[in-house]
Amino acid sequence: MLEIKNLHARVAETGVEIIRGLNLTVQDGEVAAIMGPNGSGKSTLSYVLAGREDYEVTEGEILYNGQSILEMDPAERAASGIFLAFQYPMEIPGVATMEFLKVAMNAQRKARGEDPLSIPDLMKRVKHAAGELSMDLGMLKRPLNVGFSGGEKKRAEILQMKLLEPKLCVLDETDSGLDIDALKIVADGVNQLRSPDRSIVVITHYQRLLDYIVPDSVHVLYKGQVIKSGDKSLAYELEENGYAGIIEEAA
């Protein structure tokens, strides 16, 4: 599904290199966790995957289903099934959440050669998915993310993910700002999406989320590189000993 080879990426404006020779492979159906201390480049990696224009890839390759995505703009990447749930979801004043979902879902359908959904069908799907995430349906009328609590924003991201049915999901610190009940609901939502033809990259700072979304692989990111990979036991090792040992080992 995803193969990242010797990726180097820098901030376009300043030329500061953040991703420095990163290698990562994620198989079809795999749930891969990316962990790492603050500032190691986790969010930057998610932005580079999504095609955010503030970053430049200077070397290396990102293959998605065997094809390079480096020349694709963010909309093309989204249409091809790549989805990013943001660490800090953006507030969009003036655009009701339901309206946003309608436009996004129909754009995905168009990209797949499908007809737009009828309004009743759309409402039914959105309400069903929102209900599964225990979201207050009143939120659907409010402008997207405006005044939402941290936890509500994260749920709104997962709602979008459920409705857009992406092939490659990248979740950036979806656990931050969630209390334990909300964490379980969000993790359930992600687990429902696990399927042999969908891959999920879970970026997290803490091992806690991985008790609920059990990963197939765990990768430690540090200074823009994957310095260690393992199975879920690596997450427990990190929880116990912190990153220092692994960083020293890699050095």
Q: What is the DSSP string of 95-121?
A: -BHHHHHHHHHHHHHHHTT-PPPPHHH
Per-residue contact string for residues 83-112; x = within reach of Mg ion by CB under 5 A: ----x-------------------------
For the bound state, the minimum distance from the C-beta of residue 136 to ligand ADP, rounded and expressed in Å, comes to 29
Which of 183, 229, 244, 192 minimizes the C-alpha distance to 210?
A: 183
Residue 11 binds ligand ADP (CB under 6 A)? yes
Interaction of residue 44 with ligand ADP, rule CB under 6 A = yes
Check residue 97 for interaction with ligand ADP (CB under 6 A): no
Residue 43 binds Mg ion, judged by CB under 5 A? yes
What the block records as the tokens of 92 is 């969009």
Considering the rule CB under 6 A, would residue 18 count as an interface residue with ligand ADP? yes
Q: How far is CA 126 from the centre of its chain?
A: 20
Is residue 37 a contact partner of residue 228, using CB atoms and an 8 Å limit? Answer: no
Binding to ligand ADP (CB under 6 A) within 57-96 occurs at none
Piece in contact with Mg ion (CB under 5 A), picked from 9-17, 57-65, 80-88, 175-183 = 80-88
Taking CB under 6 A as the rule, does residue 41 contact ligand ADP? yes
Q: Radius of gyration (Cα) for the chain, nearest Å?
A: 18
